[in-house]
Structure 1
Amino acid sequence: MKTKYLKSILPAALLTFAASCTDLDVDIQSQYTEFPDSELASEARAANAYYAMRGPLSRDYNHAQSLSSDEVTPHSYGANDYYDNGRYTHMFLHSWTPDDPCIGYWETVAGGITTCNNLIAEFGDAENVAPTIASLRAVRAYYFFVLMDSYGDVPLLDHKLADDERIDRSPRADIARFIEKELLEVRDQLSEEVNASTYGMPTRWMADALLAKLYLNWAVYTCGDVTQYTPDLPNEKLNDLVAVCDEIIASGRFDLSDDYRSKFYPDNGYQIRDFIYAMPFDRETQQGMTYARWWTHRSGNIGFYGVDLPSSVGGIFGVTPDFLDLFCLTNDERNETIIGGPLYVRDPYTYEATDTPWMVDGQQVVLTRDIPLNPVDEIMGVDNTPHGGRSVGYRSIKFYMDLQTTAAQSRSQSNDVPIFRYADVLLMKAEAILRGATATNGDTPMSLINQIRDYVGAEEKVTDSVTLDDLLDERGREFADESWRRNDLIRFGKFEDDWGWKHIINPAAKTQLYRRIFPIPTGVMNTNTNWEQNPGY
């Protein structure tokens, strides 16, 4: 079992913030009696600033990115069970509103920015804190990226807020340029080490990966009006993207030597060579990650995993049939992260399927590829029976259920969640070259994609010219359930495409291009009455 590094050091209260950027000022210095007099002490003092995304990434942020894409079809049982006022189906149907909780993570991420700002102001010019300040600026840049990617124009709050200060939202393009400036200024001050001591922390390679992701979407973020973005808009940052990818590749600190499935198991951690930046989770001390709860057949807490689970599961997510078609390469290990058809009891030690059929009420459970709904409306309800509604849709077992979780731990899993991976660096470089960047080091889109296919064991290799559609499909296979699909579909101009039941239940989704960004949550708007809601909402 992995050993988690950097437990929460600061009081938990520092992770709870008020409702908006205008009232997030916290007097952190007053909670301590001595100023940090070493780099180690300052890092300990700053530790919780690095984990503001733990809550959103464990649920709402992941749901917002995945359910709004073609990856996942949610459903409810009957008219009420797990409908939750449309919490899940609104995201899938592209009918979300400013009141929907899945898009309500603004406050937590903005709180992370404020914590960074307060600590930077507190440290000032003290000795031995420059590396810590660089780390705080890097993770703050990531928080700005999350806000800007999700909501468009956001406040450029780069300092400790004064008591009477009001701050407006800045254009998305300005936020993108600020993120770039910050990362370029701090990247050489960040640690280049990749080990247990830097796991989950901002490093030089985290900054470079974030720069690459920023550059990949540069045309999206700087076009001014999200409804006017098209995939053929020029991207001036493509060669810069290739350059930062090349630095990560040349570092030699990352590779694809890990088995694909094991990278996402509950005992993953700093030893995974593919992980550039990850969010640590632990069922005891760093709780909240419950991905498997949503995918597991609702009767699956009894017997399916080879042991009985201490808590119930939701079981309302199914793989959208259109997305399922991507998992078609022969002997591709990624295919094994999705289960369907007749189910067999899993071995609790190897996680592999046994030869024992998984039986419920005397009948083997069979998951259906299609997800029929009755009635066809926004409730997306199915009947609540083991061999009926509970068995619609294939299921993901990528972030495998943590079988050591106890009832008192509220379904929390110890699976760490990767944010930036080496595999993504390779595919970002491939995409940049496809979109017009100069190829370097003999790499081509074909050779880069084939590196991915080699390590997952896929027999089919790319032998002809690669298209952008090929690249998007490969990204779908590689990064399923890792909160990147919405981002990818928008960049490729496919966020409004047909999939599943979306356009049957909500035909307006085809033309509502303003949904490429989310609305500002109602609570934030109520506090910041001088702001205007995003257009369309």
Structure 2
Amino acid sequence: MKRNRFLILTLSTFAVGSIIVSCKKLEKNIYNDVPTENFYQTPAQITAGIAPTYAALVPLQTEAVFQSNEATTDEMIVPTRGGDWFDGGKWQALWKHTFTPDIGTFNDAWNNLSTGITKANFILNILNNLSTKPSNIATINAEIKVLRDYYIFYLMDMYGNVPLVTDFNTDPSKVVTVQRKDVYAFLETDLKANVPLLSAKAASNYGHMTRYGGYMLLAKLYLNAQVYTGNPQWANASAMADSVIKSGLYSLQPVFLDNFAVANDGSVENIFVIPFDKTYIPGNQIQAYTLNYNSQFTFDLLGQPYNGFCSPRAFYLSFTDADVRKKMFLVGQQYSSAGAPLTDKGTGLKVAFSPYVNELSNPADSFKFAGVRSVKYAPEPGSFPSSSNDGVRFRLADAYLMKAEADLHMGSAATALPLVNAIRQRAGVPTWASADLTYDNLLAERGREMAWEGWRRNDLIRFEVATGTKYWSGGRLPGKTQDADTHTYIFPIPNLQIIANSKLTQNPGY
């Protein structure tokens, strides 16, 4: 049993039946049976009471938020294989940046993030209206607010000008879009006020937002300040990342892929995670999305994977053969768990993954095996579709790379280089000299280190805004031409959201 799986009991017993809120409109009268006056007094009650805010994290790991931030980049492609994975053309639109407000993935992502914000506001409303408040109310409030800021950050990052609702009693008819720079200003103020109040890392708060998870979120906010406001904040980004690095509470996990293993709760590098369990907390379904149907026999899964997500050749080839991180991909002939070469029963073809994805759609049987498949999160035998690997949201290597990037922008390659080289040493590749520390190389290194962790879109846009190089909007194979302008830096506000609230203003270009 993994340590302190704080969500298991709260989600499977009390929270599901008594306090989890709707993913749609919140009806206040459904909470009359929650014993709030005598609740939130013991640590167990507090954990159960705030669990719904954490439960909203679950779909962020591999569903719409992840898909929007990865399938729009050079890192992950979802080709149409015969009749599979067309889905109205949405995956091709994501890859080619021909977005429309009708893409369901964008609406799902909006709803998932909004649900987290609403749950946080609801619980804050309960807590702060108790006649007898818990003795550590300030810390509890801070934890929920910083977690709410995590959802708001993603909403702002993806959609730009978004509603900013911080009170559960807000009149829905008065909700409007708020300028991105103003959402940024709110997040900066709220995080600076609340992060210092959070608890530090402890075995008892595994899976919770801690002070150092909060510093990572502040670092992300400042690192992208030029994108959000037009004004870089490199010094602040460096300082926030440095707060994590110098805490001494985290270190690089000696074996890179151990951060993502089935039993990864022992990682000394992971800072903020979503606890998963194949039975009690399902939701980490990356093995189902990426692996081929026949991979069931490689990993002794309980069902057939969906044969969807993969990485194209150019991204795969950015890894050298010496790079241990390249082991996150499956390529070439595949074998059963007993070591026998796999043959696809339907076609008679060898199950051999090719890095070549030369078109977005192909009905050929061989195209079922196009694209390398990710096993960064180790597939779990005896599971399907979910696995028990905890979802890594923040880890120390990202703090190293964020500080290195910020320092490079400030002209301090001397402090940036050792941070990048520490990561490269772990990966088993040669360290860099000062001349190697270019923006092109640093972005590529982030790609190799952070692949399939949901940051690629954010990274490409930030580097493009800072340098002018078309990392995000440029053309790439297969089939993506250069974007006509920069309106794709933010996604369209989903049509269904505008239909539900006509006061929302669609983003330019859509």
* TM-score of the alignment, normalized to the shorter chain, above 0.5: yes
CA distance in 1 between partners of 2:60 and 2:20 (Å)? 12
Does the CA-based 8 Å contact 1:298-1:313 persist in structure 2?
yes
How far did 1:298 drift?
2.9
- Structure 1 residues 139-168: Cα deviation after superposition (integer angstroms, max 9, x where no partner): 011011010001101112111224565121
- Structure 1 residues 28-71: Cα deviation after superposition (integer angstroms, max 9, x where no partner): 75231242352513332111112312113231111111100101
Does the CA-based 8 Å contact 2:294-2:351 persist in structure 1?
no
Does the CA-based 8 Å contact 2:293-2:305 persist in structure 1?
yes
CA distance in 2 between partners of 1:189 and 1:27 (Å)? 32
Does the CA-based 8 Å contact 1:134-1:190 persist in structure 2?
yes
Aligned to 2:60: 56
How far did 1:463 drift?
1.8
Aligned to 2:99: 96
Aligned to 2:35: 33
Cα gap change, 1:384/1:15 in structure 2, threshold over 3 Å: closer, same or farther? farther
Report SS of the residue matched to 1:74.
coil
Does the CA-based 8 Å contact 1:39-1:131 persist in structure 2?
no
Does 1:289 find its partner at 2:287? Answer: no
How far did 1:218 drift?
0.5
- Structure 1 residues 321-349: Cα deviation after superposition (integer angstroms, max 9, x where no partner): 22112111x522101111212334457xx
CA distance in 2 between partners of 1:27 and 1:212 (Å)? 39
Unaligned segments of structure 2, at least 5 residues: 465-470
CA distance in 1 between partners of 2:104 and 2:21 (Å)? 17
How far did 1:522 drift?
1.9
Unaligned segments of structure 1, at least 5 residues: 224-233, 348-353, 374-379
- Structure 1 residues 115-135: Cα deviation after superposition (integer angstroms, max 9, x where no partner): 211221221172422211110
Aligned to 2:503: 530
Report SS of the residue matched to 2:114.
helix
- Structure 1 residues 355-401: Cα deviation after superposition (integer angstroms, max 9, x where no partner): x433445664322221133xxxxxx322363xx11111222211122
In the alignment, residue 298 of structure 2 is paired with which amino acid?
A: F
Residue of 98, 120, 139 corresponding to 2:147: 139
TM-score, normalised to structure 2, is 0.90
Length, aligned pairs only: 489
Does 1:324 find its partner at 2:316? Answer: yes
Aligned to 1:488: 459
Report SS of the residue matched to 1:11.
helix
Matches within 5 A, 1:428-467: 428-436=402-410, 444-458=415-429, 460-465=430-435, 466-467=437-438
CA distance in 1 between partners of 2:341 and 2:385 (Å)? 25
CA distance in 2 between partners of 1:359 and 1:127 (Å)? 61
In the alignment, residue 397 of structure 1 is paired with which amino acid?
A: V
Does the CA-based 8 Å contact 1:17-1:107 persist in structure 2?
no
Report SS of the residue matched to 1:277.
strand
Aligned to 2:468: none
Aligned to 2:467: none
CA distance in 2 between partners of 1:12 and 1:150 (Å)? 32
CA distance in 1 between partners of 2:128 and 2:157 (Å)? 30
Cα gap change, 1:222/1:389 in structure 2, threshold over 3 Å: closer, same or farther? same
Richer in helix (by share): 2
CA distance in 1 between partners of 2:337 and 2:319 (Å)? 21
Aligned to 1:367: 353
Does the CA-based 8 Å contact 1:321-1:500 persist in structure 2?
no
Aligned to 2:16: 11
Cα gap change, 1:278/1:12 in structure 2, threshold over 3 Å: closer, same or farther? farther
Aligned to 2:486: 513
Matches within 5 A, 1:188-203: 188-195=196-203, 197-203=204-210
How far did 1:205 drift?
0.4
Aligned to 1:212: 219
Cα gap change, 1:96/1:11 in structure 2, threshold over 3 Å: closer, same or farther? same
Cα gap change, 1:112/1:31 in structure 2, threshold over 3 Å: closer, same or farther? farther
How far did 1:478 drift?
0.5
Aligned to 2:331: 340
Matches within 5 A, 1:103-142: 103-104=106-107, 105-124=109-128, 126-128=133-135, 129-142=137-150
Aligned to 2:474: 497
Does the CA-based 8 Å contact 1:370-1:392 persist in structure 2?
yes
Cα gap change, 1:164/1:218 in structure 2, threshold over 3 Å: closer, same or farther? closer
Cα gap change, 1:291/1:495 in structure 2, threshold over 3 Å: closer, same or farther? same
